[in-house]
Amino acid sequence: MHSIAKFNEHKTKFFLYYLYGIYTHLSENKKLNNYRVLVLMGSKNDSAILEAALPYYDYFGIAAEFVVSSAHRDPARTVEYASSARAKGFSAIVCGAGMAAHLAGVCAANSDLPVIGVPLAGGISDGLDALLSTVQMPGGVPVATFAVGKAGAINAAVFIARLLSLSDETLINKLDSFRAHGCKLPISV
Ligand code: RP5
């Protein structure tokens, strides 16, 4: 009798450890796969600059989805992307556009997610037109506007990692290593 009770006790303990293992595995996975960022660009020609940030998103474990949708050439589609982004599970929207760069502004007008604008060169004064079009938003409709070009695209990824690190210790550690490498990606990502 005694040995049966002992056996049952072991079985119960084993079962509880098993459940705990499943729970830990699922929550780790959730943490790793949870973050999604929508990266919109005004033209296919903008993709090389915006995709330069891809290794940074990878390093921080953030899934970045790149989509071409112009505020001017595909207005309805762009509004749909912005207004459905939160429900689809995105944590932020990054918008890269050149010339009369209204993409980030349109997204900020149609979503309450953090919207980051990356002005791109190609128009007048190497992107000064896009910078002013992106940054000069009316009060209440914010677009966090970063540097023109590749640096801005990369900083968008790092900034989003910093925002998400407010509630994620794994990201705090990743940011620590990133800083220890001179704010560059460690060699083996
Ligand atoms: C913007 O105007 C795009 O973001 C691109 O940088 C620039 C030129 O656009 P396309 O003529 O290549 O469509 O809308």
Domain ranges of the chain: 1-33, 35-180
- CA atoms of 52 and 72, how far apart (whole Å): 24
Cα 177 to ligand 1 centre (Å): 36
Say if ligand 1 is within 6 A of residue 122 CB: yes
Most informative mutation of 44, 51, 73, 99 for ligand 1 (most atoms within 8 A of CB): 99
The tens digit of pLDDT for each residue in 80-132 reads 999 999 999 999 999 999 999 999 999 999 999 999 999 999 989 999 999 99
Give pTM, 2 decimals. Answer: 0.83
Strand partners, 38: 65, 93
Task: Work out which ligand 1 atom sits closest to the CA atom of 98.
Answer: 6
Domain range 35-180, CATH class: alpha beta
- CA atoms of 172 and 76, how far apart (whole Å): 38
Say if ligand 1 is within 6 A of residue 168 CB: no
